[in-house]
Amino acid sequence: MSLWEYANPRRFMAVSATVLPWTWAAAALLCATGLVWGFFFTPEDFRMGNSVKIIYIHVPSAFIAINAWFMMLVASLIWLIRRHHVSALAARAAAPVGLVMTVVALLTGAIWGKPMWGTYWEWDPRLTSFLILGLFYLGYMALWSAIEDPDAAADLTAILCLVGTVFAVLSRYAAQFWSQGLHQGASLSLDAEENISDVFWLPLVVSLAGFVALFLALVLLRTRTEIRRRRLATLTARERLA
């Protein structure tokens, strides 16, 4: 029994069909628990008031936005090295989810930023690097949709993902170098001296887990759609030949 057995599309379809409803259920349950707990059963922050509660959407979506790219990087590497088609399709499936999460993180940040910082947008390193991350997602998706041959598209986007990762990380440090930050530092790190209080931390972790489950469910669903689309293309091609 090895992980690579799921690289077989038939096997992947069978397993993901049974896993997918559970993932959806976990996503719905965890998101609902985390968000309801966070929105209605936590105290107001003494300085930020009610607006602190946007953290339960902002932080998980930002977390997913970054990690979706790393998932794409790993999937691209697997495709380039071991040529498993499911892996390439999973990378393709994750990109729009990552882009939406980037936009959600930027939007919730803007909504929170207006009353707290007095501005919707600030050229802060973190905000800037998120905007740049969104651009990288856009370019990656545009390249996928521009190339007709599916294998060439998978190869080229995988290479773009590798080069893009290096430059996305570089851009993050360039942005840090280029302007001073307004965004608060990490408040969830395990090794930090000062984290947010447990009252806020526990529901945040629950909704973080919910967003991870939601991401998994969406990627599984989209990968299944891609596999079916690929099968349909093969069938129609065969039909045309016959």
Partner 1 sequence: MIALLLRDLRLATRAGGGFGLGLAFFLILATLVPLGVGPETDRLAPIGPGILWLGALLACLLSLDRIFALDLEDGSLDLLATAPIPLEGVATVKALAHWLTTGLPLTVVAPALSLLFFLPTTALPWLVLSLLIGTPALSWLGTFGAALTVGLKRGSLLLSLLVLPLYIPTLVFGAEVVRRGAEGLPVGTPLAVLAAITLGCFALLPFASAAALRINLR
Binding site for partner 1 (CB under 8 A): 132, 135-136, 138-139, 142-143, 146-147, 152, 155-156, 159-160, 162-164, 167-168, 170-171, 173-175, 177-178
CB of 146 to partner 1, least distance (A): 5
Q: How many CB atoms lie within 10 A of CB 94?
A: 25
Task: Supply the minimum distance, in Å, between the C-beta of residue 98 and partner 1.
Answer: 14
Cβ nearer to partner 1, comparing 12 with 144: 144
Could you please report the per-residue DSSP string of 131-153?
A: HHHHHHHHHHHHHHHH--SHHHH
The answer to whether 76 touches 63, Cβ cutoff 8 Å, is no
Specify whether the CB–CB gap between 132 and 175 falls below 8 A.
yes
What single DSSP character describes residue 46? T
**Distance (Å, whole) CA 3 – CA 23:** 19
Q: Which is nearer to partner 1, 36 or 80 (CB)?
A: 80
Residue 238 Cβ vs partner 1, minimum distance, rounded to whole Å: 23
Query: C-beta of 179: minimal distance to partner 1 in Å?
Result: 10
* Residue placing its CB nearer to partner 1 in the complex, 45 or 155: 155
